[in-house]
């Protein structure tokens, strides 16, 4: 009975992880689109939205074993959090850093080596 519950849990976890992997390009694309809009017109509501999206990505990535993706997303999340707390828009240096972090997220997500072992 205990093994059956464990096996069912593992199957469900693998299913959720597979869904996460399938949805990952869309999640990163959403972050890219939000960032592009935010660069066009800086709005605190949109800043909160992109912060939330990056926070969700960081947490989900860690849950499903994407440690490198989670770490890089947390770096980006911290930048957005600081901007929210200071109630300021990104300067040129910060904007460049954010763009580079988003590119890094994209690169990591496309790298097969970043996939967690239990998914393979």
Please list the ranges in the chain whose pLDDT falls under 50: 113-114, 117-120
Burial letters 81-120, b for 16+ CB under 10 A, else e: eebeeeeeebeeeeeeebeebbebbbebbeeeebbbeeee
Residue 3's pLDDT is 85
In this prediction, residue 120 carries a pLDDT of 44
The pLDDT, as a whole number, for residue 7 is 85
């Amino acid at each position: 009975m205990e093994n059956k519950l464990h096996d069912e849990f593992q199957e469900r976890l693998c299913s959720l992880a597979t869904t996460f992997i399938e949805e990952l390009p869309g999640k990163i694309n959403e972050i890219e689109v939000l960032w592009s809009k935010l660069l066009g017109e800086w709005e605190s509501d949109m800043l909160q939205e992109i912060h939330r999206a990056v926070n969700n990505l960081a947490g989900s990535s860690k849950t499903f074993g994407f440690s490198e993706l989670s770490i890089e997303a947390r770096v980006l999340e911290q930048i957005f959090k600081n901007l929210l707390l200071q109630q300021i828009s990104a300067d040129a240096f910060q904007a460049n850093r954010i763009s580079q972090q988003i590119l890094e997220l994209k690169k990591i997500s496309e790298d097969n080596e970043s996939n967690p072992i239990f998914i393979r």
